[in-house]
Amino acid sequence: MKPRITRRDHGLQSMITDCPNKYLNTYFCGQNVGIMSRNKLQKFAEVRSFPNVYENFHPMIPELRGENAEIVEMKGKWAEKHFGNQHPITLELACGRGEYTLQLARKYPERNFIGVDIKGSRIHQGATIAIEEGLTNVAFLRMKIEKINNFIAQDEISEIWITFPDPFLRESKSNRRLTSPRFLDSYKNLLVENGIIQLKTDSPELYAYTHEVLTEYPGVRLLYDNDDIYAQALDFPDLEFKTYYEKKHLLDGRTIKYVRFSLDRI
């Protein structure tokens, strides 16, 4: 079923087509230029020129733009068109500044990595570092994660990291949690057979909720579960990487939880 496009959305599509730069400077996901800092606007403008950043300007319009706001078709073609190889792709959702994406990319040059987040100023930081360090196995995708299946094809992803996402503590927003059933439906489609999903969080609420979902969701294979990963030697070396928020959580005395699982298609 095609998304319902309102008259307002048709107007936005015309703005994007006719003048994408002007559109970016005046509107993005409800943000008004009058209340946005000049620094953020500058970062938005710079990101448009980055060869490793792709953006979906409006969630109701399934259109992706790359360098210099040119329309690009990447679904099913990330390895070929962006990375220029057929290496497996890891997706980091809610990547923020891209710390985990960058650290994984440095460690595994034989793999490709895509960090996904809606915050352009955060992606700007990660994308800048990737360019400065010559990390050609890194890309960033600025968009609402709910629309990920519009831009990544079935079986295109080998692994998903979910690192310290917003736990959305209000019950009315539980469907926005990145381990809710509707997101698992999306991941199952993106991942290759036996593809792995990994959640790293400080939130006991999100950790408990994830357990509830995985118990009821069909085809789940729970591969590893630890409610305090630093209480002992790490079982997976990739867990040693720490994001900005994880460092803050540890200073606050919070314990870090980790769940590793896969989804069978049944």
Catalytic machinery residues: 166
* Residue 230: how many other CB atoms lie within 10 Å: 13
Alpha carbon distance, N-terminus to C-terminus of the chain: 23
Environment class of 247 (CB within 10 Å of its CB; exposed 0-12, middle 13-18, buried 19+): exposed
Q: Is 160 helix (H, G, I), strand (E, B) or coil?
A: strand
- Measure the CA angle with vertex 16, ends 123 and 92; round to 5°: 25
Q: CA dihedral defined by 144, 147, 151, 154, rounded to 10 degrees?
A: 130
Order of strands, edge to edge, in the sheet holding 89-93?
71-72, 64-65, 53-55, 138-142, 112-117, 89-93, 157-163, 191-201, 257-263, 220-226
- Determine contact, residues 79/85, Cβ cutoff 8 Å: yes
Q: How far apart are CA 11 and CA 75, in angstroms?
A: 25
Q: Tell me the chain's radius of gyration from C-alpha atoms.
A: 18
* Residue 218: how many other CB atoms lie within 10 Å: 11
- Determine contact, residues 67/45, Cβ cutoff 8 Å: no
Length of the chain: 266
